[in-house]
Amino acid sequence: MRDNKTLSNSNENKKDAKQKKSKTREFFDALVYAAVVAFIIKIFLFEAFRIPTGSMEKTLWVGDFLLVTKFTYGATTPRNIPFTDIRLPYFKLPGFKEPERGDIIVFDFPGDRDELESKEVVNYIKRCVAIAGDSVRIAGKKLYVNGELFPNPPNAMFDNMNRPQSFSNPRMFPRGAGWNEDWYGPIRVPKKGDKVVIDSSNYDEWKTFVMREGHTISQTADRKVLVDNAELPGGEYTVGRDYLFMMGDNRNNSLDSRYWGFMPVENVVGKALLIYWSWDPSKSFLNFFELLGSTRWERIGNLIK
């Protein structure tokens, strides 16, 4: 009797252990499945984004949390290995449309004017005001695209400073252009296949651009321009990508294409869709009720346009 009882208890213990192991395995499998689904959604469908600066005020406020659609323009492979700055090969899935003038877009910052690439992988959000092949000009704070006045966004902001056309801001793109924030251009947004004459007079202007497209560029002692160690046919460089011109709605408080240059279409992350949460980030996170009280309920759920 004792042996039978001992055998029965042993079998029950094994059964319980197996059930516990099965439940642990189910929990682990569910966790892995959820992680994979979340990864797929983040890579190919949607991504959350927080507004960190006031460059898009008062269309978007600091403390707004946005939902960004990746499938609108076509999802791309990650730009880098997660948690590192190691770049990955670029691949883009088909989208429903191409970026258009007026779209508010989240993108990978290409780097400052004279940088080959950004020191860190960081996302920016700006309004696309011009697409590849467009001409951009700013005259007295008024933006013109292809010679036509570009309508100001409903909540666009401008400062009260009137900068004269003769004033030159050395920080502007391209280097040495002699322009400022309110008097800029005209400048053509490069389009794939464009032919650009590059010589000693504009070498500094185009040097970083050509290198970002993956080429080497140099000048000889007699000031001839070499790309990939060869003279340019007819002195013309052929643009290899399409680009966009991005600007913040807070026009005089935005570091945008006027400062750092053209944004490659392949850097697009997605289109800003809606505000899913918003609060005042100046409130202390240590005081939950104060933070909750700063919630901007009227902004939650608003579509972005």
Q: Which residues contact 256 (CB under 8 A, 6 or more apart)?
A: 55, 126, 246, 247, 248
Mean pLDDT value across residues 131-144: 98
| Whether residue 155 is found in the same domain as residue 118 | yes
pLDDT category of residue 63 using cuts at 50, 70 and 90: very high
pLDDT category of residue 10 using cuts at 50, 70 and 90: low
Q: Are 141 and 182 in contact (CB under 8 A)?
A: yes
Domain of 280? 51-192+247-299
Please indicate, yes or no, if residue 305 is contained in any of the structural domains. Answer: no
Please say if the pLDDT value at position 2 is more than 60: no
Least confident of 37-46, 57-66, 146-155, 226-235: 37-46
Model pLDDT, residue 42? 60
Q: How many residues does the chain have?
A: 305
Mean pLDDT value across residues 185-205: 96
| Whether residue 58 is found in the same domain as residue 120 | yes
Residue 143 β-bridge partners: 138
Cα separation, 21 vs 261, in Å, equals: 58
List Cα–Cα distances, 44 to 50, 69, 100, 297, in angstroms: 19, 9, 20, 29
| Whether residue 150 is found in the same domain as residue 18 | no
Q: pLDDT over 70 for what percent of the chain?
A: 84
| Whether residue 86 is found in the same domain as residue 199 | no
Mean pLDDT value across residues 243-247: 99
Terminal Cα-to-Cα distance of the chain (whole angstroms): 80
User: Which residue among 97, 118, 119, 126 is the active-site one?
Assistant: 126
Cα separation, 160 vs 183, in Å, equals: 15
| Whether residue 163 is found in the same domain as residue 251 | yes
Residue 54 half-sphere exposure toward CB, CA atoms < 13 A: 9
Is cis: bond before 52, omega within 30 of 0?
no
Please indicate, yes or no, if residue 122 is contained in any of the structural domains. Answer: yes
Q: Which residues contact 253 (CB under 8 A, 6 or more apart)?
A: 54, 55, 57, 157, 159
pLDDT tens readout for residues 122-135? 899 999 999 999 99
As to burial, measured by CB atoms within 10 angstroms (0-12 exposed, 13-18 middle, 19+ buried), residue 106 is buried
Q: Are 280 and 294 in contact (CB under 8 A)?
A: yes
Q: pLDDT over 90 for what percent of the chain?
A: 65
Please indicate, yes or no, if residue 90 is contained in any of the structural domains. Answer: yes
Both tokens of 217, joined, read 């560029």
Mean pLDDT value across residues 198-213: 95
Please say if the pLDDT value at position 236 is more than 90: yes
What is the identity of the amino acid at 27? F
Whichever domain contains 98, its CATH number is 2.10.109.10
Please indicate, yes or no, if residue 149 is contained in any of the structural domains. Answer: yes
| Whether residue 64 is found in the same domain as residue 147 | yes
Please say if the pLDDT value at position 41 is more than 80: no
Least confident of 116-120, 132-136, 256-260: 116-120
Please indicate, yes or no, if residue 123 is contained in any of the structural domains. Answer: yes
User: Which residue among 55, 254, 257, 278 is the active-site one?
Assistant: 55
Please indicate, yes or no, if residue 262 is contained in any of the structural domains. Answer: yes
Model pLDDT, residue 253? 93
| Whether residue 178 is found in the same domain as residue 199 | no
More confident residue, 249 or 74: 249
Cα separation, 79 vs 231, in Å, equals: 32
Model pLDDT, residue 138? 98
Model pLDDT, residue 67? 94
Please indicate, yes or no, if residue 291 is contained in any of the structural domains. Answer: yes
Both tokens of 118, joined, read 């950004």
Cα separation, 216 vs 199, in Å, equals: 15
| Whether residue 17 is found in the same domain as residue 162 | no
Q: Which residues contact 2 (CB under 8 A, 6 or more apart)?
A: none
Least confident of 2-16, 173-187, 269-283: 2-16
Please indicate, yes or no, if residue 232 is contained in any of the structural domains. Answer: yes
pLDDT category of residue 75 using cuts at 50, 70 and 90: confident
Cα separation, 79 vs 88, in Å, equals: 5
Please say if the pLDDT value at position 217 is more than 90: yes
Cα separation, 31 vs 46, in Å, equals: 20
Least confident of 22-36, 102-116, 212-226: 22-36
278 is catalytic: no
| Whether residue 13 is found in the same domain as residue 145 | no
| Whether residue 201 is found in the same domain as residue 260 | no
Model pLDDT, residue 46? 72
305 is catalytic: no
| Whether residue 84 is found in the same domain as residue 121 | yes
Domain count, the chain: 3
DSSP letter for each residue of 91-116 = -B---S----TT-EEEEE----TT-S
| Whether residue 290 is found in the same domain as residue 214 | no
